[in-house]
Amino acid sequence: MAKAAARPKAEPKAPRPARARAPKNGTNGGLQPEPEPNEDDIRVRAYHLYLERGAADGADFDDWVTAEKQLKVAHN
Protein backbone atom coordinates (compact mmCIF):
# COMPACT_ATOMS: atom_id res chain seq x y z
CA MET A 1 0.00 0.00 0.00
CA ALA A 2 1.43 3.37 -1.05
CA LYS A 3 1.61 6.23 1.40
CA ALA A 4 -0.16 9.46 0.51
CA ALA A 5 2.09 12.37 -0.28
CA ALA A 6 2.67 14.64 2.67
CA ARG A 7 0.74 17.90 2.45
CA PRO A 8 2.88 21.02 2.62
CA LYS A 9 2.50 22.91 5.86
CA ALA A 10 0.48 26.09 5.61
CA GLU A 11 2.38 29.24 6.38
CA PRO A 12 1.34 30.82 9.66
CA LYS A 13 -0.88 33.85 9.29
CA ALA A 14 0.47 37.21 10.29
CA PRO A 15 -1.01 38.45 13.56
CA ARG A 16 -3.77 40.99 13.21
CA PRO A 17 -2.99 44.42 14.64
CA ALA A 18 -4.69 45.22 17.91
CA ARG A 19 -7.64 47.59 17.71
CA ALA A 20 -8.27 50.33 20.17
CA ARG A 21 -11.73 49.91 21.60
CA ALA A 22 -13.86 52.68 22.96
CA PRO A 23 -15.50 52.16 26.34
CA LYS A 24 -19.09 50.97 26.12
CA ASN A 25 -20.47 54.07 27.83
CA GLY A 26 -19.88 56.16 24.69
CA THR A 27 -16.96 58.17 26.00
CA ASN A 28 -13.30 57.94 25.20
CA GLY A 29 -12.39 57.23 28.80
CA GLY A 30 -11.92 60.89 29.67
CA LEU A 31 -8.47 60.93 28.11
CA GLN A 32 -8.99 63.69 25.55
CA PRO A 33 -12.06 65.39 24.18
CA GLU A 34 -13.19 63.94 20.89
CA PRO A 35 -12.31 66.23 18.00
CA GLU A 36 -14.93 68.29 16.24
CA PRO A 37 -15.88 67.15 12.74
CA ASN A 38 -13.11 68.21 10.38
CA GLU A 39 -13.37 69.79 6.96
CA ASP A 40 -13.09 66.44 5.18
CA ASP A 41 -15.96 64.97 7.22
CA ILE A 42 -18.12 67.98 6.38
CA ARG A 43 -17.16 67.85 2.71
CA VAL A 44 -18.14 64.17 2.42
CA ARG A 45 -21.46 64.71 4.21
CA ALA A 46 -22.23 67.77 2.05
CA TYR A 47 -21.51 65.71 -1.06
CA HIS A 48 -23.90 63.01 0.14
CA LEU A 49 -26.57 65.66 0.70
CA TYR A 50 -25.94 66.91 -2.84
CA LEU A 51 -26.44 63.40 -4.18
CA GLU A 52 -29.59 62.90 -2.07
CA ARG A 53 -31.00 66.08 -3.66
CA GLY A 54 -30.53 64.55 -7.09
CA ALA A 55 -27.16 66.20 -7.78
CA ALA A 56 -28.82 69.52 -8.62
CA ASP A 57 -26.42 72.46 -8.61
CA GLY A 58 -26.87 75.71 -6.74
CA ALA A 59 -27.22 74.70 -3.09
CA ASP A 60 -23.60 73.97 -2.19
CA PHE A 61 -23.54 76.48 0.67
CA ASP A 62 -26.79 75.11 2.12
CA ASP A 63 -25.43 71.55 1.84
CA TRP A 64 -22.25 72.58 3.63
CA VAL A 65 -24.09 74.32 6.49
CA THR A 66 -26.53 71.41 6.86
CA ALA A 67 -23.68 68.88 6.86
CA GLU A 68 -21.81 70.87 9.47
CA LYS A 69 -24.87 71.07 11.73
CA GLN A 70 -25.67 67.37 11.35
CA LEU A 71 -22.13 66.30 12.17
CA LYS A 72 -21.89 68.59 15.19
CA VAL A 73 -25.19 67.23 16.56
CA ALA A 74 -24.03 63.65 15.95
CA HIS A 75 -20.72 64.47 17.66
CA ASN A 76 -22.38 65.70 20.87
Q: Enumerate the domain spans of the chain.
A: 39-75
d(CA 1, CA 18): 49
Per-residue pLDDT of the chain (76 residues; tens, 9 = 90+): 556 666 666 666 666 666 666 555 555 566 666 678 899 999 999 999 999 999 999 999 999 999 999 999 987 7
| φ, ψ dihedrals at 9, nearest 5° | -70, 140
pTM score, two decimals?
0.55
